[in-house]
C-alpha cells in the first residue's frame, strides 16, 4: 500500500531534492521517508526516533513495506542517529516546537558539516529556528505557510550561506514577509487578537509587561499595514 502524506508533510517532501540521502529526525511512523522512497525520490534515508513507541511503529512500517534496505530506522536522540558513512545530504525535522528543533540542530551541528539542505517545520517559535540558522551560516532559501485542520504551519528551507535577518524577518520569515499570503495574514491577525486580549488582562501598573506586548502588537500592525 502506498504511503499518503498530510498536506504539511507533502510540502516538506516537495523540498527534498531528487536523489537525496535523507535524515528524518523525529520520524514517528516513518511516513515521510517511506513516501519518498516509494516515489523514487531519494536514494537512502535514516529515520531517527528518540521514543520507543514511535521508533517501533517506524520500524514495523518500514519492514512491512519491504524498504529496510533503503530506510534505516534508528533509536537515537536527534542527529546522533546519523553517522558519517551515511553521507546524508538533506535533513528534515518536522512537527516539533521551534526551540526543540534549534536544540537538536545545536547538539548535532558536527553532523551537519556536509549536509546541503535543511527542511524544518516548527510548530511554534519559528524565530528561534531562524536565529539558529543565521548564527550557523545557513541561509533561508524558501519558506511556506499553509493551513491544515485549522492549524497554520510554517516550513523553512535552508542551505549553506551567510545571511543577516532583521527583527521583522526573524519573526515573520524573510520569504513569507515578501509574499504576505492570505494564510500569513490570517496567522498574524489571529496573533494580533491574542495579544490585544492579553494586553487587556495586564494591570495598568505593570508597565514593562504592557509595553512589551504593545511593541509586539505594533510590529504586527506595521507588517500587515493595519491601523490601531
CB of 132 to ligand SAM, least distance (A): 15
Asked if 102 interacts with ligand SAM (CB under 6 A), we say no
Nearer to ligand SAM, 13 or 213 (CB): 13
| Distance, CA of 138 to CA of 189 (rounded, Å) | 29
Asked if 213 interacts with ligand SAM (CB under 6 A), we say no
Other C-beta atoms within 10 Å of 161: how many?
A: 11
| Distance, CA of 26 to CA of 94 (rounded, Å) | 7
Helix (H, G, I), strand (E, B) or coil at 26: coil
CB of 28 to ligand SAM, least distance (A): 4
Stretch that binds ligand SAM, among 33-41, 50-58, 129-137, 155-163 (CB under 6 A): 50-58
Stretch that binds ligand SAM, among 19-27, 35-43, 131-139, 143-151 (CB under 6 A): 19-27
Q: Whole-angstrom distance between the N-terminal and C-terminal Cα of the chain?
A: 53
| Distance, CA of 6 to CA of 13 (rounded, Å) | 10
Alpha helices in the chain (DSSP H): 7-14, 31-38, 52-64, 98-107, 126-135, 167-172, 174-179, 182-201, 207-224
Contacts with ligand SAM, 52-91, as mask; x by CB under 6 A: --x----------------------xx-------------
CB 79 within 8 A of CB 136: no
Task: Tell which one of 50, 146, 198, 202 touches ligand SAM (CB under 6 A).
Answer: 50
Look up cell 540558522; give the residue: 133
Asked if 163 interacts with ligand SAM (CB under 6 A), we say no
Task: Tell which one of 95, 98, 108, 122 touches ligand SAM (CB under 6 A).
Answer: 95
CB 101 within 8 A of CB 122: yes
Task: Tell which one of 3, 15, 23, 26 touches ligand SAM (CB under 6 A).
Answer: 26
Asked if 25 interacts with ligand SAM (CB under 6 A), we say yes
Asked if 108 interacts with ligand SAM (CB under 6 A), we say no
Pairing between β-strand 138-148 and β-strand 151-160 as defined by DSSP bridges: antiparallel
The binding site for ligand SAM (CB under 6 A) comprises 9, 25-28, 48-51, 54, 77-78, 94-96, 100, 104
Amino acid at each position: 500500500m502506498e504511503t499518503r502524506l498530510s498536506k504539511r508533510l507533502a510540502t516538506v517532501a516537495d523540498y527534498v531534492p531528487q536523489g537525496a540521502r535523507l535524515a528524518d529526525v523525529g520520524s514517528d511512523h516513518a511516513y515521510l521517508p517511506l513516501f519518498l522512497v516509494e516515489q523514487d525520490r531519494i536514494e537512502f534515508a535514516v529515520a531517527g526516533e528518540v521514543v520507543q513507541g514511535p521508533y517501533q511503529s517506524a520500524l514495523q512500517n518500514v519492514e512491512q513495506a519491504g524498504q529496510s534496505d533503503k530506510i534505516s530506522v534508528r533509536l537515537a536522540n536527534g542527529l546522533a542517529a546519523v553517522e558519517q558513512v551515511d553521507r546524508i545530504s538533506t535533513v528534515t525535522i518536522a512537527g516539533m516546537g521551534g526551540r526543540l528543533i534549534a536544540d537538536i540542530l545545536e547538539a548535532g551541528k558536527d553532523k551537519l558539516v556536509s549536509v546541503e539542505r535543511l527542511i524544518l517545520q516548527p510548530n511554534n517559535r519559528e524565530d528561534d529556528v531562524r536565529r539558529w540558522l543565521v548564527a550557523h551560516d545557513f541561509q533561508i532559501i524558501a519558506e511556506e505557510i499553509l493551513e491544515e485542520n485549522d492549524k497554520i504551519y510554517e516550513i523553512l528551507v535552508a542551505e549553506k550561506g551567510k545571511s543577516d535577518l532583521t527583527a521583522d524577518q526573524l519573526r515573520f520569515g524573510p520569504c513569507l514577509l515578501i509574499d504576505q499570503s492570505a494564510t500569513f495574514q490570517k496567522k498574524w491577525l489571529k496573533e494580533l487578537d491574542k495579544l490585544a486580549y492579553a494586553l487587556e488582562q495586564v494591570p495598568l501598573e505593570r508597565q514593562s509587561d504592557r509595553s512589551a506586548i504593545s511593541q509586539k502588537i505594533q510590529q504586527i500592525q506595521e507588517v500587515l499595514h493595519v491601523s490601531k
